Amino acid sequence: MTTFHVLGFPRVGAKRELKFAQERYWRGDIAEQDLLDIAKALREINWKHQAAANADYVAVADFTFYDHILDLQVATGAIPARFGFDSQSLTLDQYFQLARGNKDQFAIEMTKWFDTNYHYLVPEFHKNTEFKANPAHYVQQIREAKALGLNVKPTIVGPLTFLHLGKEKGEAFNRFELLNKLVPVYVEILNALADEGVEWIQIDEPALAVDLAPEWVEAYKAVYATLSEKVNAKLLFATYFGSVAQHAELLKALPVDGLHIDLVRAPEQLAAFADYDKVLSAGVIDGRNVWRANLNQVLDVLEPLKAKLDERLWIAPSCSLLHTPYDLSVEVQLKENKPELYNWLAFTLQKVQELSVIKTALEQGHAAVQAELDASQAAADSRANSKEIHRPEVAARLANLPEGADQRKSPFAERIAKQNAWLNLPLLPTTNIGSFPQTSEIRQARAQFKKGTLSLEDYEAAMKKEIELVVREQEKLDLDVLVHGEAERNDMVEYFGELLDGFAFTKFGWVQSYGSRCVKPPIIYGDVVRPEPMTVRWSQYAQSLTNKVMKGMLTGPVTILQWSFVRNDIPRATVCKQIGVALSDEVLDLEKAGIKVIQIDEPAIREGLPLKRADWDAYLQWAGEAFRLSSMGVQDDTQIHTHMCYSEFNDILPAIAALDADVITIETSRSDMELLNAFADFKYPNDIGPGVYDIHSPRVPKPEEIEHLLRKALKVVPKERLWVNPDCGLKTRGWTETLQQLQVMVDVTKKLRAELA
């Protein structure tokens, strides 16, 4: 027998049922019991899918009403004391207040779960944090699944990863010091699970796959010696998202009962664990992507392992399936319009089926599942040979780019002189990041257009009216470089994906981003080509309305890549450069149409950084090249802007400078311009527009606040190189505050200008 298990399942349901239930509950439309019932039903469906696919254990305790790291804060009693709640008797309402804030307390901060687009709630540790076990949430799930007659394996994030993911608050200390207090509480929690009669507990320690300080790595020995000695269940130590080969000696010596490794992200690490002498769980099906596996290839890896490990071989997805959409079979349109592509895909339910086939093949031989193996092979072959995705002209264009294609014709100093000559801007030019309020009228028009109840003509007329409004308001405000407002865009990635070849979209391919929020990333499945201009008409129309300069607006290649499911048959770097080259066609068309200030947004450049520092340089190298390729061939007097937000950028400043954008606009106001000091220390060479107010809030900044920020900026950026703009686009704001906010920004700028003149 070969044990097949799942590390975790998507929680929100095939049609985002949990999201809608949560939101109805928050609005007061349904009672707590209704929400509990809906959640229970969803868990049952998830478990039954696993059981029906012959999983030997179904994953339990992976369900959460908001976030599994918040659940762990509750389970260990480490919820932020500032809320004044008792973790032992926490109500569901209080739980949601921790996640979403209340009138007195801001919400627990959120950040990305490793290099995924899932966000967890960051534990707040204090020097005097005390832990207290409260395993109720997990125990209940175990009981529920057991009542259904299922064989269960609870999953929980381990103590070192939990501590590692948190932040120190208050008096200075090192949260590592809390470990000794935390471990006994883990023992208590794990034993509460064991008492429910579970044989195995999966304990996730993905922190081991990132760069961990030596004292943390060292601590694994003692912590797991204690856990395995004191916990009355077998422990499966799960790693994922990267190789743990560098810790092979440590892992082999850990007194746990099994080890899970991610063989999709890091297939090469298998060699380091070939002589592992306990249960080895091979993560062979990609939990991070949407592609169907080539089962014959997977079996080629597993069969020798099976020969060696026999019963000790377990099979699983590479990581929790939380990061993949739920069910491909509901994508009727995709199946009809792109049957070939449909056949290359596998979502959560299909991935579980793949594992089922692998299990049978390992236990009974290939013949028992020959039809499934053949179908998988046929899909792999058709994908490898499809003319729709392999377009020789795309590969040829990339291969034949002239030397230095990604470099501007002249250095910045020469370019900016030529740009200033025609731009004729005042000191401290003001501009916007792109979007203006996406009003309900805009959304409605788009929805009607998609449904077919509004004609293309009427839809475009509505968008043009919106653009005109945006232009007139900016003129009234006396802004210097205008934007068209992006009314015609639903989303900054989807909009371009829909207009580029090589992209496909699903109807229900949602994955959880945080809490009740889900995203539906495009699927980049083929070579990328821009068949025709995408934004030129809109920008040209906007420019025709005004004598001021209109800025063109594109989403950059790295951000498009980062927020999509990316094909896995060629390197990500190649896909990214293809997008860059496709965008360059657009940039040159904009330039030809007289749009000679063009912004290429890259808010996601930082979040693409690999987990291990050793891999950063290679990533920044190709990401930078792809960005620069997107404006290849533009004239010196065409001004390229870029925009970044959402992250701290201090540690990648050289890479940002290497993008060689003429102007960078960047989110800084929330950090009181701290970021600018880093730019100054680094001697960032080009123009820079630090955000002067936070666009996430409707609050109108006081003139003194903006003045304070600008004066701070002027201390470190020469006045000739300083721009003035909000932190980011305004699409989530309402018109009233937007006009007031921008008015303050312009007024203060004019005051300072007069002073500087």
Is 356 labelled a binding residue?
no
| Closer residue to ligand GLN in complex, CB, 73/435 | 435
Q: Which of 125, 220, 116, 217 is nearest to 165 (CA)?
A: 125
Phi first, then psi: what are they for 682, rounded to 5°? -75, -15
Helix 136-147 crosses helix 68-75 at what angle (to 10 degrees)?
Answer: 110
435 lies in the binding site for ligand GLN (CB under 6 A): yes
- Residue indicated by tokens 């004044």: 84
Q: Is 645 in the site for ligand GLN (CB under 6 A)?
A: yes
Can you tell me the distance from the alpha carbon of 35 to that of 47, in angstroms, rounded to the nearest whole number?
A: 19
Work out the burial of residue 443: count CB atoms within 10 Å of its CB; fewer than 13 is exposed, 13-18 middle, 19 or more buried: exposed
Tokens 């809608």: give the residue: 20
Return the residue matching tokens 């049922």.
17
Residue 153 or 733 with smaller CB distance to ligand GLN: 733
Q: Is 5 a catalytic residue?
A: no
| Residue 241 · residue 319 · CB < 8 Å | yes
Among 601, 625, 660, 707, binds ligand GLN (CB under 6 A): 601
Strands of 458-570, DSSP E? 481-482, 501-504, 511-514, 517-519, 523-529, 549-555, 565-566
CB 246: neighbour CB atoms within 10 A? 15
Query: In angstroms, what is the minimal distance from the CB of 124 to ligand GLN?
Result: 27
- As to burial, measured by CB atoms within 10 angstroms (0-12 exposed, 13-18 middle, 19+ buried), residue 403 is exposed
Closest CB 675 distance from Zn ion, rounded Å: 13
Choice between 71 and 601, CB closer to ligand GLN: 601
Q: Does 605 bind ligand GLN (CB under 6 A)?
A: no
195 labelled ligand-binding = no
729 binds ligand GLN (CB under 6 A): yes
- x-or-dash string of contact with ligand GLN, 486-525, rule CB under 6 A: x-----x---------------------------------
* 112 annotated ligand binder: yes
- N-term to C-term CA, the chain: 81
CB of 470 or CB of 553, closer to ligand GLN: 553
Stretch that binds Zn ion, among 287-295, 515-523, 655-663, 720-728 (CB under 5 A): 720-728
Looking at residues 572 to 631 of the shown chain, list those that interact with Zn ion (rule: CB under 5 A). 603
Q: Residue 595, interface with ligand GLN (CB under 6 A)?
A: no
Q: Give the nearest distance from C-beta 485 to ligand GLN in angstroms.
A: 9
Segment lying near ligand GLN (by CB under 6 A), choices 154-162, 177-185, 239-247, 428-436: 428-436
Query: Cα separation of 106 and 95, whole Å?
Result: 13
Phi, psi of 156 (to 5 degrees): -150, 145
- Best CA proximity match to 512, nearest among 66, 59, 22: 66
607 is in an annotated binding site: yes
At position 561, the amino acid (one-letter code) is L
Name residue 511's beta-bridge partners.
519
- Beta strands 549-555 and 481-482: pairing type? parallel
Q: Which of 153, 323, 415, 643 binds ligand GLN (CB under 6 A)?
A: 643
Question: Look-up: residue for tokens 């992200």?
Answer: 265
In the set 13, 325, 603, 726, which binds ligand GLN (CB under 6 A)? 603
Does 695 bind Zn ion (CB under 5 A)? Our answer is no
- Alpha-carbon gap, residue 535 to 236, rounded angstroms: 52
Binding mask 632-651 for Zn ion (x = CB under 5 A): -------------x------
Binding residue per annotation — 645? Answer: yes
β-bridge pairing 511-514 and 517-519: antiparallel
Query: By three-state DSSP, how is residue 600 classified?
Result: strand
365 is in an annotated binding site: no
With contacts defined by CB under 6 A, name the span among 206-214, 297-305, 386-394, 430-438 that binds ligand GLN. 430-438
Of 323, 484, 696, 708, which residue is the catalytic one? 696
Entry field: residues in the chain? 757
Candidates 23-31, 429-437, 508-516, 742-750 — which segment interacts with ligand GLN by CB under 6 A?
429-437
In angstroms, what is the C-alpha Rg of the chain? 27
Give me the residues that bind Zn ion (CB under 5 A), please: 603, 645, 728
Residues with a known catalytic role: 696
Give me the residues that bind ligand GLN (CB under 6 A), please: 433-435, 486, 492, 553, 601, 603, 643, 645, 728-729, 731
Q: Which residues are annotated as a binding site?
A: 16-19, 112, 117, 433-435, 486, 517-518, 563, 601, 607, 643, 645, 667, 728
Q: Which residues are annotated as a binding site for Zn(2+)?
A: 643, 645, 667, 728
Q: Which residues are annotated as a binding site for L-methionine?
A: 433-435, 486, 601
Q: Which residues are annotated as a binding site for 5-methyltetrahydropteroyltri-L-glutamate?
A: 16-19, 112, 117, 517-518, 563, 607
